[in-house]
Amino acid sequence: MIELTSGDLEEVLTLVTGQQEETPGEILHVARREQPSLVATLLSAWEREGRDLGPALSHELRQQRARTDFYRGLQAGLGRAWPEAVPLKGLEVADRYPDALVRYMNDLDYWFPRRDRLWEAAGLLLADGWSMHTATFMLAGGDLQFLLSLRRLPEDPYALPYGIELSTTPLVGDRIGVPVRTALPALCADPVVKNLVALLFERFEQPYRARDLVDAAVLLTGAPRRLLASCALAVHELALWPEYAELAALLEESPFTVPRLPGDERALVRASRMWRRATAASGLRRPFGLAVTALQNGMVNGSAGMLGRRAWDAVSRRMSPRVALDAGLPLFALPVEGDDHRAEGLTLIERGGALWAHTPVGGFVLVHGDEIDEELLAGAKVAGGMREEPQGEKATGGMREEDRG
């Protein structure tokens, strides 16, 4: 098992942010501002090394440990009820951290190979006090895929809500050269392989964070050759060598000694890029879908410049939700109240200029932009505690967040 010191974590923070601070207060300030998912690990490392954190930071660390314990109990219950549900990262990575070190846990993420079991799990969670927060729907693998994001308020009113995401797709690429995966490769039966792949896929949504480097280090440090070979085969099967090469280069600059995956990395990166170009070229048969996907990707990952933002705004305002869905875009969904929006399975209905999803756990109104006009709600009330705004309801689907589990 890797040994993580506070000095290691501080070096990783400097590597990712480019800021080298001297005092613990300055280090903590930078971590909170730019790498909040590292804060709990940093505090726990300081505590383990005998530093007096003071009452406020000690309380914060106790809260994070209690949050992890809550998720541990939740995962145990879900595992008993739905053993086929596949967890992604989260506790499987946290359990590889050295003793006494805390990995920040924003939520739990699960892939359900069977959607009927996903609906069943969501229904029981809702009956147990969870609320539907948001959802995402998209076409992939010849079918309508979806992700449900549920949350639950903790006893402490000032703590962040607990979260859990249930999805029919385990891995979402850029949807241009790296498609959405509706199943995991067989090699991902090994948790290390699976969670490394999940970490690499998140690079399509945001740059690598300090916690990502720590996660990769705890996954791969000391791994036997057989396991490293399995990781390499999975990375190759999914054409993820460019993302792995970027991660490996960062790890080389870090204080960690992490073995690289076997193979001619440069040649494998070229092979992945060639495969992606071929995949993207096949999408030229739907040039509109390819173009709007690229625009939306830029909006999600923050790479869109002023022209990209203007182009997306112009195009998205002229598209209907149905056109956006058929073009391959994910639609972000707001849950609405009322049993009249329930159905035995997933059904899409176009009504009043809006696209609705009727499901076993209730209804959703689907949008592809940032908000929906209240007129399109046709009197339906948004559920899940979403804030009402005068010009419309904000739509933030189950896209990856900075501190996702």
Q: What is the mean pLDDT of residues 104-129?
A: 96
> Average pLDDT, stretch 254-271?
97
Domain that holds residue 297: 287-326
Contacts of 344 (CB under 8 A, 6+ apart): 360
291-340 confidence digits (pLDDT tens) = 888 888 888 777 888 888 898 888 888 888 898 899 899 999 999 988 77
Model pTM score: 0.90
Phi, psi at 66, each rounded to 5°: -65, -35
- Tell which residue, 79, 77, 46, has the closest CA to residue 61: 46
pLDDT at 384: 60
Nearest to 223 by CA among 181, 185, 251, 201: 251
Our count of domains for the chain comes to 2
CA separation, residue 164 to residues 49, 152, 190, 260, 337 (Å) = 33, 9, 22, 32, 20
In terms of domains, do 16 and 106 share one?
yes
Within this chain, do residues 179 and 321 fall inside the same structural domain, yes or no?
Answer: no
* pLDDT per residue as tens digits for the range 38-72: 999 999 999 999 999 999 999 999 999 999 999 99
Cβ neighbours around 157 below 10 Å, total: 6
* Cα gap 387→69, rounded to integer Å: 30
> Is 121 a residue whose pLDDT tops 70?
yes
Please check whether residues 52 and 97 belong to one and the same domain.
yes
17 belongs to a structural domain: yes
Assess if residue 210 is contained within a domain.
yes
pLDDT band at 22 (very low <50, low <70, confident <90, very high): confident
Average per-residue pLDDT in the chain?
90
Q: Are residues 79 and 178 in the same domain?
A: yes
- Give the model's pLDDT for residue 391: 39
Whether 81 and 44 map to the same domain: the answer is yes
pLDDT band at 386 (very low <50, low <70, confident <90, very high): very low
Q: What is the pLDDT of residue 404?
A: 57
My answer on whether 90 and 176 are in the same domain is yes
Does 198 score more than 60 pLDDT? yes
Verify that 29 and 62 share a domain, yes or no.
yes
Do 318 and 181 sit in the same domain of this protein? Answer: no
Q: Are residues 227 and 310 in the same domain?
A: no
Contact status, residue 399 vs residue 205, Cβ threshold 8 Å: yes
CB 182 within 8 A of CB 115: no
